[in-house]
Structure 1
């Protein structure tokens, strides 16, 4: 497809893609950049991993809250999902098995990453959604079909996040459990909207696992 995000750069870090044993697609949040989320890769102690971060046009994947009716976030939402798919495809085209490709994101990027994996179910290296959840006015866990075949799924969020209702995190957990994900949900008391050291450590472990 062609959309607002299709002509944007793909930022890379870590191992060269044609020499990497694993890859992580990193999806930035609203108002941030691909370069800003790729910087998080420095926190992960794993060799042989290529990090790939698509860039949103004007630094925003879709205009409204992820809780808005889906049509109000088009064409950005669909274009963003395509950008994630294209990044995963870059890794697999380089010979990295999809089960060694992790998908992660923060905030708006976490929502997009979650939605991508749920709508394209197969065995990935992992999914890590930091302060995010599935997209739409409502979420019906039974509406998602297929299997992620035991993919490790990590959902981390505050209990008082001003942008991400706890109920949506719980609904996202239920959806991925139905999709056969190996789900870990961690809710942090009073954290607000951000990423903490526990989340970094957990995701670092997921990255190390696909690099082994």
Structure 2
């Protein structure tokens, strides 16, 4: 598959892949960069963790709101999912087991990372969705099949996020629960659209778990 995000840079940091015991694929938000999301990764990095961040063409994965009909966000959505898949494959080809690959996204990146795991369910090292949710005008929890086998899923968002309706956060958590993930949903009062220390602490816990596996 080719698309707008194929051929873009894959930023790497942390422990080199050929020396890594685990990996984290970080997906940036609208208007941001792979370099910027890697900085978040560095805040939770431990020795043994490789950081991989795909870059969106023109810094945007898809053009419309994640609440728009899916076809309005093509081909960006599908191309972005392929970019995530390529990053995961880069890690597994280097010898990192898929159950030690954590996917993390913020905002538009959280939407895309959530969509990737829900559409490609297997036992990854974990999913972290920061201020995001599953993509589409509507989300039917019964439309997803698979088994995440107790994989940790962290879903964090404000109750008044201007871009992410609380209802979509809730249905996203429901989907992952139906897929047999171990879901940790945390809703923060009045936070707005951002990331807080409690969320970073939760990410650090997931990193520590995959590195000790």
What TM bracket, shorter-length normalisation? over 0.9
3-state SS of 1:154 partner: strand
In structure 2, the partner of 1:87 is 87
Match of 2:75 in 1: 75
Match of 1:171 in 2: 171
What is the deviation of 1:42? Answer: 2.2
Q: List, as ranges, runs of 4+ consecutive aligned residues in structure 1 with deviation greater than 2 Å.
A: none
Instruction: State how 1:76-155 maps to structure 2 within 5 Å.
Output: 76-155=76-155
SS in 2 for 1:52: strand
Q: Write out per-residue CA displacement over residues 133-174 of structure 1, whole angstroms, 9 at most, x where no aligned residue.
A: 000000011101011111100000000000000000000000
Q: Match for residue 3 of structure 1?
A: 3
Say if 2:62 is the partner of 1:62: yes
What is the distance in 1 between the residues matched to 2:42 and 2:80?
A: 25
* 3-state SS of 1:116 partner: helix
* 8 Å Cα contact 2:26-2:41 kept in structure 1: no
TM-score by length of 2: 0.99
CA distance in 1, matches of 2:109, 2:42: 19
Gaps of 5+ in 2: none
TM-score normalised to structure 1 length: 0.99
Partners of 1:112 and 1:179 in 2: CA distance: 17
Once residues 42 and 36 of structure 1 are traced to their aligned partners in structure 2, the CA distance between those partners, rounded to angstroms, is 10
* Aligned residue-pair number: 212
2: distance between equivalents of 1:180 and 1:145?
Answer: 10
Q: In structure 2, do the counterparts of structure 1 residues 118 and 40 end up closer, same or farther at CA, with 3 Å as the change threshold? A: same
Separation of aligned partners in 1, 2:42 and 2:13? 9
Decide whether the 8 Å contact of 1:118 with 1:176 is kept in 2: yes
Gaps of 5+ in 1: none
What corresponds to 2:18 in structure 1? 18
